[in-house]
Amino acid sequence: MATRGGKAKLIYCGLSLGGLAAGFPFAWMLLASFMSRGESLRRALLPERVQWDNYIEAWQEADFGLYFENSLIIAVLQVSGTLLFSVMAAYPLARMQFRGRDVVFTGVLATLMIPEAVT
């Protein structure tokens, strides 16, 4: 029993290290967004002084408001369309018996499993 617990601890330790290794670039990116350009070029780990101006500059000069609005519109339309299609397909598949029902169900599932980026 002790070896089983030791093995689990070793697995959790390895998974934790993998999670830290995967999350470190994202944490560094977030911290670098608060640094001045000089600090980020020196590859400092922590900012000496938090630079909120970076976010204000990006929002105003790069027109992030427009990008955010476009992303929001696309996301709402995509989710609404998927929900509408799913409801219209789910009701007859769940409540009605007809020839070819299993084929249609398999087709719907197959199309949902294909990532959108591939199509």
**What confidence score (pLDDT) does residue 116 get?**
75
Q: Is the dihedral of CA 42, 44, 49, 50 positive or negative?
A: positive
Say how far apart CA 62 and CA 65 lie, in whole Å.
Answer: 9
Say how far apart CA 40 and CA 106 lie, in whole Å.
Answer: 51
**What confidence score (pLDDT) does residue 3 get?**
59
**What confidence score (pLDDT) does residue 119 get?**
64
Residues of the chain predicted below pLDDT 70? 1-3, 119
What residues have CB less than 8 Å from 52, skipping those under 6 apart?
A: 34
